[in-house]
Structure 1
Amino acid sequence: MEKVLLVNEIVKEKGALLFMQLIPESGETMSEFCQRLSQLLSSYDRQLVKVTCFGDLASQLAFELELTSRFGSEFPLTWIEGETCSDSFMNGIQVWAFKGQLEYFQAKGDAKGCSFEDEQGSYLFMGDLLSAPAQTPEDGYAELLLQVNSLLNEKGFAFTDIVRTWYYLDDILSWYDAFNRVRTRFFKQYGVFEKLVPASTGVSGKNKRATAVTMELLAFRPRVETVDLKQVQSPLQNEAGEYGSSFSRAIRIGTEAYQWMTISGTASILPSGETANSGDVQKQIAHSFEVIGQMVKNEGYSFNDITRATAYLKDHSSYELLQLFLCENPDYQVPLVVTQNTICRDDLLFEVEMDLVK
């Protein structure tokens, strides 16, 4: 089989924002990888807003030390556990950077945040948000949401300003239903359903503290009336809320400077909410890409507009089947960070998510 070489570098500049995705090159050391990131940031004169890392926890401490020795430790840095799908030390990183004034802040535990403004709106990232240990997973998650709400309020945002969340749940299959109940209850309490339901991803993933939940989020508050902030529906899937999972398929922020869209984790699910192609990873990969590809097309984007994209495989051995699909379907040869993480249902074998900007 001819292998598809994953694009090891995406760099897109839109106004003061810089979007990056980096994958280690074959044989590239951790130090060389961080040097490549440093040179890119220097050439674009940007400061780090957030870094999200995918890879085995065994590499986490060494990589964070290498990264913070070059860039300091103020920015949000989240490490998502997932078996590496290559011979590299990690699967890849996804980065936002900004040219202008940033405010970094520390939250409870190791969680950190970064806020900034451009002419269009105010932004806030929070990363490495971990639930507390020694609690039931759902209680820890509920406490985490209360913590998030307080932090947002302190920084002049409301919970309803959240446009995107990422959740990585230890032992996801044992308590995903309870996770959804807690999230839905919180959304009702804080009026999320009356405003905008965030896009979201929820897959498995351990964190360095061995707690039940790792969370990242992006909040956005428009500063001008011309900003178009909306939920995007999928033409091939119904809203997840119809089968008990409280997230939107995608969120789009349209400004005079750029059109940014974030697409939730997308798996092989029918409009009814049932799993399609159960047990067949090749068909699930094809179906997931068909769904996400139609959303991209309908909103006037192309895969050339991708700023980051993550593929989650339940089984590491499916990596070659994903490569085969990309080889046979050039229209879907998207730049991917590929990682092994369990999906939210036992019969789901693949999930893909992405951000795009034009």
Structure 2
Amino acid sequence: MYFLNGDRIYIKPDNGAESLHNQLLSCVGQLNQINSGKKVFKVNFFADTSNNNSYNNLQEKAHELISERFTTPMVVNIIAQPPLTCKILAEVFYFDATLWNSEYIQKENGAAMLFEREGTEILIGNVQANKSKSCHENAASTFEDFGGLLGHAGFPVNSIIRQWNYLEDILGFDDDKQRYQEFNNVRSGFYADYFKETGYPAATGIGMNRGGVLIEFVALKSEAALTMPLDNPGQVAAHVYSDKVLIGGKFAVKSTPKFERARYLGVFGKKMIFISGTASIRGEKTIGLGDAAKQTEVTIENIRRLYSDEVLSQIPGNGIRPQYGHTRVYVKHRKDFKAIKNTVERYFGNLPAVYILADICRDDLLVEIEGKVVLE
């Protein structure tokens, strides 16, 4: 990752690998060929799995292959979101081991890598619960394990600065309760008042085909680093949405999504902005109904607003020059892929981008984009 003096790369399987298993083997084999002078510590596999057995088998096989081929442990995720160009795609994170000490931490249903340098500690990992058909139960279990993992590593809840929330069947219902709303209710309970003084983490809430509830996170403990929330003046902050855009009956519990539109991090001279999952919303209203290209344009305009001069002026330090450095694009319908990709490339050119098929947190949203901005 950038703030660890590393970065991320994407690995696609070789053209000759046709089955999901062979594509996994191809991706893992290519991990051995990475010659960046840095050290891999985390791999996400985005995969097109046909059923729960296929998902569970892939998860088991990926961990097995990684442990067989590498002497040091890694944080490994299987995210059931089909890539739009292959059956499986590896997202590989690496860091500079000459600058950062690292320690692998594993707890039940979760794992993380702890990085330390001159009194600054960063914890990066994941937790998952996939034991129930109920989103509420899986979310409650995941956050319980999340809290346990943070506590074991000595990190308070309000140390979380970036979070990815993957929900199976995000727009579905358990009886009369919408799954994403149930997740938000559980998250609000877990966060309680911990973020009252610091602002919430940047976050993405996105659908996946199976896997229950999976949370990825970055947490920070440091007196030397600076982190702060950033807002888009053209959007209502998600954590103060009105009941109009929250799903549930008149008397239902409806907690707002607790995240910031973006979050700044500055540590050891590395300055960047985490861009949360962003969609075609102005105020709190969806723009461009039924038009994937229009929604992509509005989404990108929202993202650009988050590193405009107006927003950057809040960050200490002169001469900050923003560069949008990476993006992950979630596409709701495969038929819209070309229109969305063309629009992204029209705005960002050859920017490193990965396109994933995934459901978005509102019925009428067709695309969601997240990324990072590097400040130099």
The verdict on a shared fold, with TM-score over 0.5 as the criterion, is yes
2:8 is matched with which residue?
Answer: 20
Deviates more, 1:312-321 or 1:72-81: 72-81
Which residue in 2 is equivalent to 1:172?
Answer: 170
CA separation of 1:195 and 1:324: change in aligned 2, threshold 3 A: closer
> What's 1:238 paired with?
236
For residues 301 and 30 of structure 2, the distance between their equivalents in structure 1, rounded to whole angstroms, comes to 34
Aligned pair partner of 1:195 in 194, 198, 202: 198
CA-CA distance at 1:93 after TM superposition: 1.1
Segments of structure 2 that go 5 or more residues without pairing to the other structure are: 18-22, 173-178, 242-255, 313-319
Partner of residue 255, structure 1:
267
- Give the 3 Å change call, closer, same or farther, for CA 269–216 of structure 1 in structure 2: same
Identity of aligned residues (%): 24
Displacement of 1:84 in angstroms is 2.5
RMSD: 2.5
Where 2:344 maps in the other structure, the secondary structure is helix
Residue matched to 2:157 = 159
- Looking at structure 1, the residues matched to 120 and 133 of structure 2 have their Cα atoms a distance apart, in angstroms, of 37
Report how many residues are paired: 331
Partner in structure 1 of residue 77 of structure 2: 78
- Structure of higher RCO (CA pairs closer than 8 Å, 6+ residues apart): 1
Q: Does 1:275 align with 2:286?
A: yes
Higher mean alpha-carbon deviation, 21-30 vs 197-206, is at 21-30
Whether the 8 Å CA contact 2:27–2:89 is kept in 1: the answer is no
Partner of 1:338: 355
Cross-structure match for 1:8: none
Amino acid at match of 1:257: G
Query: Does the CA-based 8 Å contact 1:168-1:206 persist in structure 2?
Result: no
2:190 maps to 1:183: no
Q: Matches of residues 1-358 of structure 1 in structure 2 within 5 Å?
A: 17-24=5-12, 27=15, 29=17, 30=23, 31=25, 33-40=27-34, 42-44=35-37, 46-57=38-49, 60-61=58-59, 63-72=62-71, 74-86=73-85, 88-99=86-97, 100-109=100-109, 111-119=110-118, 121-127=120-126, 129-134=127-132, 136-174=134-172, 175-188=179-192, 190-207=193-210, 210=211, 212-224=212-224, 227-243=225-241, 244-271=256-283, 273-298=284-309, 299=312, 300-303=320-323, 305-306=324-325, 308-327=326-345, 329-331=346-348, 333-358=350-375
**4+ long deviations beyond 6 Å:** none
Query: What is the deviation of 1:117?
Result: 1.0
Going from structure 1 to structure 2, the CA distance change for 1:331 and 1:144 (only over 3 Å counts) comes to closer
CA contact (8 A) 1:23 1:337 kept: no
Distance 1:181 1:340, change over 3 A: same
- 1:91/1:339 contact within 8 Å kept: no
The answer for the alignment partner of 1:4 in structure 2 is none
Query: In the alignment, is the contact (CA less than 8 A) between 1:76 and 1:112 conserved in 2?
Result: yes
Q: Distance in 1 between matches of 2:183 and 2:274?
A: 22
How many angstroms apart in 1 are the aligned matches of 2:228 and 2:222? Answer: 12
Name the aligned partner's letter for residue 205 of structure 1: M
Task: Report the more deviating stretch, 342-351 or 97-106.
Answer: 97-106
Q: Tell me by how many angstroms 1:32 deviates.
A: 5.2
Q: Deviations over 1:305-332 (max 9, x none)?
A: 51x42100001121111232235x2445
Cα distance in 2 for partners of 1:52, 1:266 equals 21
